[in-house]
Amino acid sequence: MVEHGDIRVVHRGGSKINFREPVLSHDSRLLLCASGECVKVFSSSTEECVHDLQGHTDLVTGVLLNPSNHLQAYSCSADGTVRLWDFTDGILIKVQLHCHHVSVQPLSVSVFVYLLMCMCVTLTRLLSSSQGEYIASAKGLHLEVYFFKKQKSYRFSLKEDNKKGAKNTFTCLSCHPKDDCIATGHEDGKIRLWRNFNHKREYTYSTLHWHHSAVSSVRFTPEGTNLLSGGVESVLVQWRYNQETQKDFLPRLGAAITHIAVSPDGELFCTAHSDNKLTVIQSCVKVSAVIQGLVKGESVRTDLMVDPRSKALVLNGKPGHLQFYSLQRDKQLYNLDIVQQEYIHESGLQQFEVVKAAFDTRGNWLATVEERKQKDSTLELNLKLWAYDEQTQSFVLNTTVSGPHEARITAMCFCHTADSQTTMLVSASQDGHFKAWQLESNHYFYEGPFWSCDFVGAYHSLVPECCCFSADGSLLAISFQEVVTVWSPASWELLTTLSQPPGAIRDLCFGRQSCSKYLLGTTAKNLLCCWNLLTCTLEWSTSMDVSLLLSDPLSENMAAFCSHAGLFVFKPSEPRPLFSHKAICSGKVTRAVFAPREEMLESCEESSQWLNRSQLYFLTQYMDLMTFITKAEEDRLMASSKRLVIDDSVAVTPFYLLLGKHRQQQQEKQDRSFSAERNQLPQGSVAIKELLHTPAHVLPSASFLCSMFVRSLLISVTDKEKKSEEEEMESDKEEESECEMEASTMGQGQTAEAQETAAPALTKAQARELRRVKKLDHSWLSSLLDS
Amino acid sequence: MGEFKVHRVRFFDYMPSAIRAMAFNSRTERLALSRADGALEVFNFADSYFQEKVIPGQDGRAVEALCWVRGRLFSAGLNGEITEYDLENLRPKYTMEAYGGPVWTICSNSQGTHLAIGCEDGTVKIFEVLEETIRFQRNLDRQKGRIISLSWHPSGALIAAGMMDMIKVFNAESGHATHRLLVERGVGASKSREVVVWSVAFLSDHTIISGDSAGKVQVWDGVTGTLVRTHLVTKWDVLALSVSRDESSLLAGTSEGTVVQFQFISSTVDQHDKEWVRTRTFKNHTHDVRALAHTDTAVVSGGMDTQLVVRPLLEKVEKNTQESALRKIAFPHRSLVSCGKKAGMLLFQFHGHLELWRLGESDGHGKPGDSLPVKRKPEKLIQLKRKGDDHICCSALSPCGGWLAYSTISSVRLYRLQYNGSNISITKVAKLPKVLRSAHQLCFSSDSSKLFASTTHSSVIIIALSQSECKYLHTLRPKSGTRQPVHLMSASEDGKWLATANSDCEIHVYSLHKLKLHCTVPVYSSCPTAMAIHPTTSNLVMVHADQQIFEYSLVQKEYTEWSRKLQKQGLHHLWLARDTPITHLTFNPRNPAHIIMHDTYMFCIIDQNLPLPDQKTLFYNQMTLRSLPEPERTSHSHSFKICKTFQHLLCVSLLEDHSLVVVERPLLDIASQLPAPVRQKKFAT
């Protein structure tokens, strides 16, 4: 990729998390996965992203735990470096340069890991036994096992396909951690277990067959008792090792499984799915967490959009859905079911697809178009208008217009006015008409406001291609092949026509802010034109092969993507581009959007000023979401990532401090006393049962119950200690009642102070202190309940 | 190739019976196999899996188990008897009542000194193997419930016995049970049903392996009597087990028709603690696999679907050789059809009866490949049921259709057939010469005046037939002193010669005029599978089990020039790669250079005038020849003209009116008559 000054094209947000196999940490609390140019560390219980390990400058191609230190992980990247991280704190420890020729003889653990990672880049399927005696690789129809001690490799080949139609191509492999057994997955869904592979001829394998199409991942559990496999069926299959007739299934995982990872203690499994999702599974029984990335299908039919309310990126997600993806938090917010029909997973079936979507300026309205074209039947079209519901915090269907046009809708936009009372939607279609839809507030038949057609327009029976409202909503430009017509939406009067033949208009865009007098268009004959609407003349035009033209809603900047993936950012009023970049990616840029920033950048360099207010995201041909980043921003991010993080995934709340420390204390006490008897859990105490099982209407007031509740938490001390500390407890109880009296007067600030004092590790002397803290907290709770 | 009017015969409802038991003798490389009708077959694995001997069955004799003791073959059946077979005369030698009810299994120790049988009444009986016979020695401790399977420990000191719900280990010396291994029943509905231990294997390291009706293959420690591993192989039954000689591999045959291989493999590369690991699954059967044998190089299996399958273990054999191909043996390697060439009649031999058919007629003419309209339909003239309990071992129809003979192991019967118009009368020839007690092969001379019957020690009895009486003429004896039975016999068209072939691969030619041995063809290592004497040149053409072809001049007493040329040049590799033997051979009287022969999948006309194919020529070239223009054909043609239009052939013969009779028995028809296999859930059903 070509560097341009200090602005770089990066994967940032919405990148693939299923690109490589995820890695579960030793205590299975953290989940590491390669995501774009960073390694993401998720909490496996809360699904939250704990850190981004940033530092690589290109795609991360592999993550691996350091076998000699389970708190560290290696990552390798296409930028040619291998980095060692402390992933619990997110600190970069070491950078190693990548070299391609690694000798195999010295076999220390670190070198070994290193070797693996180097080869991961070239060979997709490669694994070693846990003892490191041999390394197995599969490619095409060949399995190769290399023994380090003997320095000898064995190669086993399968026939391409036999009479029974088996396809024997290897797709994945896994080595048994204890026995010498290699499991391989094949294209026809078979799994083979290879044994005795240190013989040229006497090797043997057994075959397991459940999957009906290619096995995409196989994995042994760390103890080697089970074998996990997954494929397109989106079912995780667990085979008992040596008792392969017994198998367990975890079905309905949502999408095809691409990778399977197992935590080192075998407690958690993690599967990566083709819809950019990670699923954390507890011992093949239940799904405990789902981490959803940006769903990327085959193509995006809708434009990339930004929801004005949530500032989320909106695009096609699951079939028939729109997904709302927060780029700042790099997390999917929610899916909006547009089609509201069951999606049938069958190839060749034509189903409703969301093809167009538009938001109005304030994000109150969302318009969507879905269509279904079956062979030899007419096109089915639905225009749906969704109103934002403040209470449910989501969009609710307001109006469905079935068959709004006779033919495919080519363009659709809302009127941009911020202050006007009426909202207007214009849709243009291949049937030669454009329609204006308006919200009608009252009707004798329907309740509440609904949308109806207000105006149908046409121009010389030409097909309208693009439509665009000016920033103040006073003008509507619609292109009819070579002709741009400008209408007044207030009176539906054709104001003027502009044309610059030859070549049909491909994109149309009004300038913003100070440049709002300009209308820009691109033509099919590689021309970028700028008309001045005041004079109704062509201001300037330039020959340029523009594939995509869009304007930044927060500034007067416009971005034009050339068909060879070049980018020009310019102001319509200025002749010189602000920024230009050749070949930002391989292939064509299909979709792009300006996403507003949460906080403005203070960059003063001219070339990067256009990135101050908003960020430009674009989708490449291979469905990678990419953006631009300035040097300053990058430095800032790097600095923040090196900051030491105090605690892990769980957020520090007063409640956490109370319960968590309490539990920890219990644990320590148990350990110290080695007592066989178990403490009564707070859940099992009489008070809690009473609280939970009594019907609400017969319960006494909450403040009364609260003291009981807290006391139930306090009593859980082992009997031995109870005896020794009985006197103390007595005095505590007196204090407690005093505290209760004060409860309402205690402020929040005090509790916060108390938490900090409670945070350090516990000695006997501090136990008393801690108990005091609990009382404090109780008061805080009761004050909450009272209110 | 020549054009023929073809009678395509599909009314021979030959139905092979299910394979019941199997025993492999690795010293002689012979596989003994018993079928549900009580018939026994011996295959020579060293000689291209040729079916060397067939001992016909008997009503009421069901062989449940087979056992080789050195070269001797013993069987036991549910009729409660132990039988030893006389492999030279192809008949049971003696039977001995075991007095324990039905016998389920028979097993010899590795020293070959004792036989153990398992009986319905729960006793294991030990028999001592003597020179000529066997003698009851003693009973082991009697158990409750039947003994289904037995296995001796290689040392001979211990016997494992599979029973209902358990396996018992006996001390062969004291006769006391030392261990009782309880076998778990199946789950679900089969919980209430007793589990049957269908098969046990006792290995030299005191491991006992059992296969049972709950679908498990279990590995037990025979010293401590504890269960080591359970492999659940199938939902149905594991019916048979077989261990390789070096005890590194084990096979289990199931009701699903699969054979599962287990291998004794060390779990990690450099360590020596080995365990039994399930490895491969072979599915070559549609029905139960009842019998299994593990040879050094192959898995041999047979069962309800009547086919014998030899699946080579690819790591043990050279790749892409004759040996590495899968073989399915569906038909017997001898002819069950005899053809009355002059009368246009066919005689079909079943084990219980004979059927005589007259072929249909057609006067239509058509293009090659057309099917002609039938003027007269083929007609079943006679269905002749055999007398007595013994099954038919051979039969013959005279070329004129006037005589019919068949033999069982106890008697020979000869019938006179007379036709007047549409009526047919059959009369039994009452007085047969006393010497003719049983025959291994029967054959009429071409003028139907003589009947040749081969008996013990490869001798041939000649009987003269006439309207009034039949008279014993002479006995022809070979000079070699062989004791093996004759399995092929062929008389020449001119009545001068008679050739016989026996299991020792010897071919004797007798002069019928002088009534004495004319010559012995030099012995070739492979057994002849078909032979015939040329009607005009008096050359004897032989085809052997290894697919070699020889031509021997009876006049000059030497191989002919053509035969030498053929041997020198070598047969085409595709000819050698065929896996069924040539079972019938005949000549074309109109073209003396033509030899017609067939195996199961093709028939072939060898034109001795054309050049022999070399290794590079296209062997199956009939289609390409047809596409070539007329003048170019001769330059491309070679002497082997092969036709695969007709499949699963039992007989191809040329009638006197120059029409070809092709008797087909499609394997699909056989499969459709089999009982339904166990129901299996398949994907998407």
User: Which is higher by pLDDT, B307 or A588?
Assistant: B307
In a domain, B582, yes or no: no
Gap from B424 CA to chain A (nearest CA, Å): 52
Q: Are residues B271 and B199 in the same domain?
A: no
**What is the CATH classification number for the domain harbouring B199?**
2.130.10.10
Residue A109, domain extent = 18-121
Q: Are residues A188 and A228 in the same domain?
A: yes
**Residue A7, pLDDT score:** 80
Residue B282, domain extent = 254-329
Nearest by CB: B269 against A133, A212, A245: A133
Q: Are residues A47 and A193 in the same domain?
A: no
In a domain, B608, yes or no: no
Q: Which residues of chain A have a pLDDT value below 50? A: 1-4, 99-126, 129, 643-650, 674-681, 720-760, 787
In a domain, A493, yes or no: no
In a domain, B82, yes or no: yes
Question: Which residue does chain A place closest to B278, by CA atoms?
Answer: A206
Q: Are residues A223 and A77 in the same domain?
A: no
**What is the CATH classification number for the domain harbouring A35?**
2.40.10.480
In a domain, A54, yes or no: yes
In a domain, A243, yes or no: yes
Q: Are residues B325 and B345 in the same domain?
A: no
Q: Are residues A73 and A101 in the same domain?
A: yes
Q: Over pLDDT 70: what percentage of chain B?
A: 99
Closest listed residue to residue A228, CA positions, set A283, A276, A265, A155: A283
Pairwise CA distance, residues A753 & A755, whole Å? 5
Please check whether residue A202 touches B, CB under 8 A: yes
**Residue A206, pLDDT score:** 87
Q: Which among A91, A121, A151 is the end of a domain?
A: A121
Q: CB contacts < 8 Å between A and B, how many?
A: 49
> Where does B325-459 show beta strands of DSSP type E?
327-329, 337-340, 345-349, 353-358, 379-385, 394-397, 403-407, 412-420, 423-428, 441-444, 450-454
Q: Which of B268, B273, B276, B299 should one mutate to test binding to chain A, selecting the residue with the greatest count of A CBs within 10 A?
A: B268
User: Which is higher by pLDDT, A502 or B492?
Assistant: B492
Q: Are residues A81 and A27 in the same domain?
A: yes
Q: Do A244 and B278 touch (CB under 8 A)?
A: yes
Q: Indicate whether B98 pLDDT > 60.
A: yes
Q: Do A245 and B277 touch (CB under 8 A)?
A: no
Q: Are residues B97 and B109 in the same domain?
A: yes
Closest listed residue to residue A128, CA positions, set A196, A201, A62, A180: A180
In a domain, A225, yes or no: yes
**Residue B595, pLDDT score:** 92
User: Which is higher by pLDDT, A166 or B25?
Assistant: B25
Q: Are residues A158 and A280 in the same domain?
A: yes
In a domain, A369, yes or no: no
Q: Do A195 and B277 touch (CB under 8 A)?
A: yes
Q: Are residues A47 and A139 in the same domain?
A: no
Overall average pLDDT of the B577-594 stretch: 89
Gap from B665 CA to chain A (nearest CA, Å): 25
**pLDDT tens by residue, B352-399:** 999 999 888 887 777 777 788 888 888 898 899 988 889 999 999 999
Closest listed residue to residue A498, CA positions, set A538, A549, A551: A538
Chain B residues within 8 A of A181 when measuring between CB atoms:
267
In a domain, B238, yes or no: yes
Gap from B316 CA to chain A (nearest CA, Å): 8
In a domain, B512, yes or no: no
Q: Do B278 and A206 touch (CB under 8 A)?
A: yes
**Residue B436, pLDDT score:** 86
Please check whether residue A201 touches B, CB under 8 A: yes
**Residue B548, pLDDT score:** 92
Q: Are residues A206 and A282 in the same domain?
A: yes
Q: Examine residue A502 and say whether the peptide bond preceding it is cis (omega within 30 degrees of 0).
A: yes
Chain A residues within 8 A of B267 when measuring between CB atoms:
178-181
Q: Are residues B416 and B277 in the same domain?
A: no
Q: Do B315 and A246 touch (CB under 8 A)?
A: no
In the DSSP assignment, the letter for residue B161 is E
B284: Cα separation from own chain's centroid? 18
Q: Indicate whether B340 pLDDT > 50.
A: yes
The pLDDT confidence band at residue B528, using thresholds 50, 70 and 90, is very high
Please check whether residue A198 touches B, CB under 8 A: yes
Gap from B270 CA to chain A (nearest CA, Å): 9
Nearest by CB: B267 against A133, A179, A244: A179
In the DSSP assignment, the letter for residue B16 is P
Q: Locate B555 and state its tokens.
A: 């006049």
**Residue A256, pLDDT score:** 87
In a domain, B575, yes or no: no
Question: Which residue does chain B place closest to A246, by CA atoms?
Answer: B232
Q: Do A134 and B269 touch (CB under 8 A)?
A: yes
Q: Are residues B317 and B355 in the same domain?
A: no
Total domains present in chain B: 3
The pLDDT confidence band at residue B119, using thresholds 50, 70 and 90, is very high
In a domain, A223, yes or no: yes
Pairwise CA distance, residues A307 & A358, whole Å? 9
Inter-residue contact A387 to A393 (CB < 8 Å): no
**Residue A734, pLDDT score:** 43
**pLDDT tens by residue, B141-156:** 988 889 999 999 999 9
Inter-residue contact A396 to A344 (CB < 8 Å): no
In a domain, B361, yes or no: yes
Q: Are residues B427 and B464 in the same domain?
A: yes
**Residue B440, pLDDT score:** 92
Q: Are residues A179 and A271 in the same domain?
A: yes
User: Which is higher by pLDDT, A780 or B677?
Assistant: B677
In a domain, B104, yes or no: yes
Pairwise CA distance, residues B413 & B432, whole Å? 8
Q: Which among B288, B313, B329 is the end of a domain?
A: B329
Pairwise CA distance, residues B95 & B117, whole Å? 14
Q: Are residues B229 and B284 in the same domain?
A: no
**Residue B116, pLDDT score:** 93
* Least confident interval from A111-125, A568-582, B245-259, B635-649: A111-125
Question: Which residue does chain A place closest to B313, by CA atoms?
Answer: A202
Question: Which residue does chain B place closest to A207, by CA atoms?
Answer: B280
Overall average pLDDT of the B226-248 stretch: 91
**Residue A418, pLDDT score:** 59
In a domain, A171, yes or no: yes
Q: Are residues B244 and B275 in the same domain?
A: no
A77: Cα separation from own chain's centroid? 20
Total domains present in chain A: 2
Q: Do A207 and B281 touch (CB under 8 A)?
A: yes
Q: Which among B265, B300, B329 is the end of a domain?
A: B329
Q: Phi first, then psi: what are they for B22, rounded to 5°?
A: -150, 145
Q: Are residues A95 and A133 in the same domain?
A: no
Q: Do A206 and B233 touch (CB under 8 A)?
A: no
Q: Mean of the per-residue pLDDT values for chain B? A: 89
Question: Which residue does chain B place closest to A180, by CA atoms?
Answer: B268
Q: Are residues B35 and B181 in the same domain?
A: yes
CA A563, A569, A571, A577 torsion-angle sign: negative
**What is the CATH classification number for the domain harbouring A145?**
2.130.10.10
Contacts of B243 (CB under 8 A, 6+ apart): B201, B203, B209, B249, B250, B251, B294
Q: Which among A94, A121, A148 is the end of a domain?
A: A121
Q: Which among B283, B314, B329 is the end of a domain?
A: B329
Q: Indicate whether B630 pLDDT > 80.
A: no
Stated pTM of the model: 0.74
Contacts of A156 (CB under 8 A, 6+ apart): A142, A143, A144, A145, A194, A197, A203
Please check whether residue A510 touches B, CB under 8 A: no
In a domain, A731, yes or no: no
**Residue B125, pLDDT score:** 93
Q: Are residues A143 and A282 in the same domain?
A: yes
Closest listed residue to residue A721, CA positions, set A668, A784, A652, A772: A668
**Residue A239, pLDDT score:** 92
Q: Which of A130, A197, A202 should one mutate to test binding to chain B, selecting the residue with the greatest count of B CBs within 10 A?
A: A202
Q: Are residues A284 and A227 in the same domain?
A: yes
Overall average pLDDT of the B643-658 stretch: 88
Inter-residue contact A391 to A444 (CB < 8 Å): no
Q: Over pLDDT 90: what percentage of chain B?
A: 52
